[in-house]
Amino acid sequence: MTSENANIIKRFIAFGQSSFGEAWGWKKKYADALGMRPQQLENIIKRGILGGTIRERLRSIGCDIDWLMTGVRKEDNTLPFDTVPLMKIPVFNYVKAGGRAMVLKETPTDYIVTKKSNDDSLFAVIVRGDSMAPEINEGDMVVVSKLREAKNGDTCVIVFEDDHSCLRRIYHHDHHITLTSANEKEYPPTNHKKSEIKFIYRVVQRITNY
């Protein structure tokens, strides 16, 4: 859950408690007012997602939706901006989630801004292919690290000795590495000698619908 969503959920809970009290059973009263089961209310709190239908139901029972989503009531004159340290990282040619494709040209094709990290080795690659769907879809971007250790089960960008690459989960063995996909029916596991692989870069972030 992002910090923004966490703050929305805090306000969601605060509205429920202000409307139905803080004594035991307030969640059931809140859920009844929203036309849902208590378990559905718990799932919203746990996942931090408020869909449009829920927002309309909240509006109907007197919730200020502007305040709920931003923390600012209509009469407020200023918005409470958070200061988020950012950094610019390079974007290189695409990586294939399927077969192999060239990657990591000498010159970046673009740059993106993301949250600041102590890891200055980060770079991003655009994904082509569907072998990692629905975990990572075509058109998504993955941010990868050259420094972080890639452990069994991690999703990584694998660069082979011939400079071609792919996006897969990795599993280390004594003399070889197994690469698996999220879509194993179409892309079954493959085994590769460690000598065939030049680099393994661990995926640390997914950016959807780039």
Query: Is residue 182 a contact partner of residue 136, using CB atoms and an 8 Å limit?
Result: yes
- pLDDT value of position 201: 94
Query: Is residue 50 a contact partner of residue 6, using CB atoms and an 8 Å limit?
Result: no
> Over 80: is that where the pLDDT of 118 sits?
yes
Strand partners, 113: 88
Strand, coil or helix: 57: helix
Give the residue among 187, 191, 92 at the shortest CA–CA distance from 135.
187
Pairing assessment for the beta strands 123-128 and 86-96 based on DSSP bridges: parallel
State the pLDDT confidence band at 22, using cuts at 50, 70 and 90.
confident
- pLDDT value of position 210: 52
Strand, coil or helix: 151: coil
Pairing assessment for the beta strands 197-207 and 155-160 based on DSSP bridges: antiparallel
H-assigned helices in the chain? 3-20, 26-33, 38-47, 52-60, 65-70
* Phi, psi for residue 110 in degrees, rounded to 5: -170, 180
- pLDDT value of position 82: 58
Average pLDDT (31-41) is 88
Average pLDDT (104-118) is 79
pLDDT tens, position by position, 195-210 = 999 999 999 999 886 5
% the chain with pLDDT above 90: 30
HEC-encoded secondary structure of 25-50: CHHHHHHHHCCCCHHHHHHHHHHCCC
- pLDDT value of position 151: 94
Q: Across the chain, where does the E strand assignment appear?
A: 86-96, 101-102, 110-115, 123-128, 141-145, 155-160, 164-172, 176-180, 190-193, 197-207
Distance set, CA 172 to CA 93, 97, 122, 153, 158 (Å)? 27, 20, 23, 9, 13
pTM: predicted TM-score of the whole model, two decimal places: 0.57
Mean pLDDT for the chain overall: 85
Write out the two tokens for 139. Answer: 């058109």
d(CA 38, CA 42): 6
pLDDT tens, position by position, 45-93 = 888 877 778 888 888 888 888 888 888 776 555 555 556 678 889 888 7
- pLDDT value of position 103: 57
State the pLDDT confidence band at 178, using cuts at 50, 70 and 90.
very high
